[in-house]
Structure 1
Amino acid sequence: MGVYHAGSRAVQDLVGVRERADHVGRSLGQDIKVVAAAFLELQPLLVVGAADPGTGGVWASALTGAPGFVRATGPRRMSVVTGARHGPLAAALATPGTRVGTIALDPRTRRRMRLNGRLTPTARGFAVEADQVFSNCPKYIQRRDSYETPAGRTPGTSRRLTGLHADAEALIRSADTFFLATVHPGGADVSHRGGNPGFVHVTSPRELAWPDYSGNAMFLSLGNLRADRRAGLLFLDWDTGTTLQLTGEARAEFAPDGTRAVRFTLAEAWWTPAALPLRWSPPEYSPANPPANVGE
């Protein structure tokens, strides 16, 4: 399969960026280069996205560990050491051949790296044989200069939700970052979405919307949604470690003025207090962030 499937091509043509997308697409490869391997080994956080093999729901989940828990163990192989808690992605991460998307994002340097491929469970976690490896620009990434591991933080009990409660709505409305997992017939992907707090709108207890800001013209996420509307969202509290994982369906809307928005309908959510052991410093918002219309 080429760099782009039919869904991404359809969106590129609709927006008129096919030539630019072809240029950017040349940066995608299968090899984990030396600089990418060095970047991975410094990260305490990896976000993984996949479809549950039983229900078919797409989820995004945050995995954490001491730097080195994610590392390149071959020219096209990334290995991850994980604990026992995987939430709604537990079955996917234990199933050989699962198509997964991953993103390692470092708020300290505003760098991100994506690696998508096929999963193999291992004795200590899992490995991914890469189909796509690439980096993105720092646009819309908020800088967080440091992190710590607070003593005594213990994950709370996860709660399954069919609609957003007040704390979940508050987390979304205050978010400056979330992660979007999508799938297509040949694979999976996780992307980063960032903006000033208020850029994600809660339009009902089961519906969200956010603007699709101008990016790298590849349209991997929107292209996937064109082919398959299943999606998973991950919101995290960078201070308390609380996570909100959502699964449902999403669709992109294209306005005559060239702006775009995505609307998401919730099927199920997991709310886990103190799920992550990391506490990050307050953000310095990206200068690329457009003003958020919090009243929309």
Structure 2
Amino acid sequence: MSNVPSSPGWGLDQSPFHEGELAVQERVGVREKMAAVSRHVVRHYLTEQHREFFGLLPYIFVGSVDAQGRPWASILLGNAGFMHASDSTTITIEAQPLHGDPLVENLRMGAEIAMLGVQLHTRRRNRFFGTVTSLKDGEVTIGVRQTLGICPQYIQGREPVFHRDPSVSTVSPVHRNQRIDKAVRAIIEGADTYFVASANLRESDGVARGADVSHRGGRPGFVRIDDDMTLTAPDFVGNFLFNTLGNWQLDNRAGLLFIDFEGGDLVYISARAEIIWDGPEVKAFNGAQRLVRYHIEEIIRVEASLPARFSAPEYSPFLARTGSWGDAEKTLEAERFRNEWRPLRISRIEEESSTIRSFYLELADGRGLAGYEPGQFLPIRVQPDAWAEPVNRTYTLSSAPGGASYRITVKREGTGGVSDWLHDHVTVGTVIEGMAPRGSFVFNADARAPVVLISAGVGITPMIAMIDSLLVNNGRTLHHAPIWFVHGARNSASHAFSAFLNDKLGRHGNLHAHVRYSRPLPDDRIGLTHDSEGIVDIDLLKAILPFDNYQFFLCGPAAFMQSLYDGLIDLGVRDTSIHLESFGPASVKRRIERAAADEAEESIVVTFAKSGKTARWRPEHGSILDLAERAGIPALSSCRVGSCGTCSVKVLNGSVDYAQPPGHEIPPGEALICCAAPHPGVHLADSLDREGVSLDL
């Protein structure tokens, strides 16, 4: 008779997470979500399905803790059926640890133990941890305290073939070291998988205490050897429980297991884990949410220890969205050339609608692609045969960062300009020039904040990049609050990325969308091709959005942007909650909120001599061009990133600063106001204001 509880799920008053796990969940913005999810995915017993599953396995991965409190990752092997769950909280294992494995010493009465069952070739998996309750005659019995699933995304498919009886103990050469030698280096450098053990042994944490063991996978070589005592590995999107990283908040000791699946060597490593939460390398490694640096304290390599050989790997399809250290190095190197024009070859062209095409661009100089944030754009330079001078344009990148190419999506404007030339004359193999991506319109909302992405026409492009980067791996989301996407198009013929959007809607429960057509075709149908008819306006937003404290991201034509901005402000939405990107020379006139305390803040005076106006600049105002537009002062501009020179203005007095050197040459005595800020001078008499700059504008 089974003693499985009648109600599935956790079912206990105490949280399954300890304070270290909760701290990481809070940092990433998923604490509330995981509190709800854990009631369904974390259990204090084995289900019937999992009891049967463990009985089918010929191997299991183990996390244990030695007498010094150090966790170790191991593997136990046996003939199918060597594990047996007699009830929902008890598992008996008939197997001996392999020779040289630290598990030989760590299996003792009362020991904390974790076990990870993975059927590599099917990617079925489950994990449990508990305490050793019995040791006798080659049998280990474990009292199960907690069970949960693991992330299957990066598991490489492999099947074992035993070449000797796993139940018969054999002695193999054991090598102990504190540094990586040639043999260990070869195994790690070729690894696409490793297993990592951690532990929290605080008695006060009750059912949340214990050992843990997890799987990590990536492209071959995804674990970098920094030196002979240090490893660094990316940490990809997982199940957001953060058991391993949470344990390291309380005790950063780690145990690693590397397996030579072909030769049979096993490498056990004891190390200290350092989590690198952010930085250039994290951004440069495609798919990495953070990095983990392992500082090695002991290495054990056992020759030909494994009684089985595994088949060649069937790589996880999710590896396509992960990078390599070689690619990351090229991306970091590319930052040195971000203000140089570099050759870009068109590698693919796709029709997105009757008037919109996507162009895939690969570097033609053999160097790496510079990284970017979703929402940023790519400056390009082209010179059609009939044109006397090259022309600069900027086009928003319409895919998530990290691929082997850039993708820009361009609407044919019908004016004979660059967009028409791209549509009419560019073919696969055409080479144009481009600089590194840039722009301030990026997705920067907290993962817990509900967001609304609103676009019209080809203004959909930054929204597609944002959605593509936030919603990944067939159901995983990096933004855990609701995401609303509202888009306006003329009809289905002009509606770009509809298939992409429908696919995301089918996979991600936190994505909601509303598409409105202004001029539907006869075959367009509400509920099939679109959701309503008319234009996207403030009345539509009021009708479809449930009440919440949203962050709004808007992109589209100038009138569209201004209308929505004004409508949102009139509804009481704060200016700081509205993020804008308009294409073309026009910009939205914003209403900057002012409080009494804010008026007392230090500012820098900018004088526009021709217009006879002055304005007070603060960092939140952006560039001098942004300040001028808010003051109603007309100013020429195009790229808005300092790559074309259109906005160059004569400096009459004072000077300006640039956050980074502009790509375009700055004429003597002038400033590129689209990317400049006034340099603070001396304080004006009896004022917090500083002298700034006077411009011939």
Offset, 1:4 = 0.7
Query: Which one of the candidate residues 18, 21, 26 is aligned to 1:8?
Result: 21
Q: Tell me what 1:110 maps to.
A: 123
For 1:7 and 1:14, the matched residues in 2 are separated by 11
Q: Tell me what 1:141 maps to.
A: 155
Query: Which one of the candidate residues 287, 298, 303 is aligned to 1:268?
Result: 298
The letter for the 1-side match of 2:176 is R
1:223-281 CA-partner distances (Å, limit 9, x unpaired): 00111011100010112221000012112111166830101111111101111111111
The letter for the 1-side match of 2:227 is S
For 1:181 and 1:30, the matched residues in 2 are separated by 20
Query: Which one of the candidate residues 52, 59, 63 is aligned to 1:38?
Result: 52
Q: Which runs of 5+ in 2 are unaligned?
A: 1-13, 203-208, 330-697
Q: Tell me what 2:261 maps to.
A: 238
1:171-209 CA-partner distances (Å, limit 9, x unpaired): 111111110000012211000001111111111111111
Q: Tell me what 1:216 maps to.
A: 239
* Counterparts in 2 of 1:275 and 1:294: CA distance versus 1, 3 Å: farther
Q: Tell me what 2:695 maps to.
A: none
For 1:84 and 1:45, the matched residues in 2 are separated by 11
Are the equivalent residues in 2 in contact too, given 1:24–1:216 (CA < 8 A)? no
Are the equivalent residues in 2 in contact too, given 1:63–1:82 (CA < 8 A)? yes
For 1:84 and 1:8, the matched residues in 2 are separated by 30
More divergent stretch after superposition (120-129 vs 267-276): 120-129
Whose radius of gyration is greater, 1 or 2?
Answer: 2
* Counterparts in 2 of 1:9 and 1:287: CA distance versus 1, 3 Å: same
Query: Which one of the candidate residues 204, 221, 225 is aligned to 1:198?
Result: 221
Aligned-pair identity (%): 35
For 2:127 and 2:182, the matched residues in 1 are separated by 32
Q: Tell me what 1:291 maps to.
A: 323
For 1:132 and 1:47, the matched residues in 2 are separated by 16
State yes or no: 1:126 paired with 2:149: no
State yes or no: 1:177 paired with 2:193: yes
Query: Which one of the candidate residues 57, 60, 74 is aligned to 1:61?
Result: 74
Offset, 1:151 = 4.9
Higher strand share: 1
* Counterparts in 2 of 1:152 and 1:45: CA distance versus 1, 3 Å: closer
1:114-141 CA-partner distances (Å, limit 9, x unpaired): 0101112321231111111122242100
More divergent stretch after superposition (284-293 vs 226-235): 284-293
For 2:86 and 2:265, the matched residues in 1 are separated by 31
For 2:224 and 2:133, the matched residues in 1 are separated by 37
SS in 2 for 1:67: coil
Offset, 1:82 = 1.6
Tell me the TM-score normalized by structure 2: 0.41
Are the equivalent residues in 2 in contact too, given 1:155–1:274 (CA < 8 A)? no
Q: Tell me what 1:254 maps to.
A: 277
For 1:266 and 1:130, the matched residues in 2 are separated by 31
Q: Tell me what 2:311 maps to.
A: 281
* Counterparts in 2 of 1:237 and 1:119: CA distance versus 1, 3 Å: same
SS in 1 for 2:199: strand
The letter for the 2-side match of 1:159 is H
For 2:260 and 2:139, the matched residues in 1 are separated by 25
For 1:293 and 1:274, the matched residues in 2 are separated by 29
Q: Which runs of 5+ in 1 are unaligned?
A: none
Are the equivalent residues in 1 in contact too, given 2:98–2:305 (CA < 8 A)? no
Aligned length: 293
Are the equivalent residues in 1 in contact too, given 2:73–2:255 (CA < 8 A)? yes
For 1:213 and 1:198, the matched residues in 2 are separated by 15
- Runs (4 or more) in structure 1 with deviation over 4 Å come to 151-155
Offset, 1:152 = 9.2
Aligned-CA RMSD value: 1.8
Are the equivalent residues in 2 in contact too, given 1:111–1:136 (CA < 8 A)? no
1:23-60 CA-partner distances (Å, limit 9, x unpaired): 3312111211111011111111111112102x322211
* Counterparts in 2 of 1:229 and 1:137: CA distance versus 1, 3 Å: closer
Higher helix share: 2
Q: Tell me what 1:73 maps to.
A: 86
Are the equivalent residues in 2 in contact too, given 1:238–1:279 (CA < 8 A)? yes
* Counterparts in 2 of 1:241 and 1:6: CA distance versus 1, 3 Å: same
The letter for the 1-side match of 2:253 is R
SS in 1 for 2:318: coil
Tell me the TM-score normalized by structure 1: 0.93
Which protein has greater RCO, CA pairs closer than 8 Å, 6+ apart?
A: 1
For 2:16 and 2:106, the matched residues in 1 are separated by 24
Offset, 1:291 = 2.4
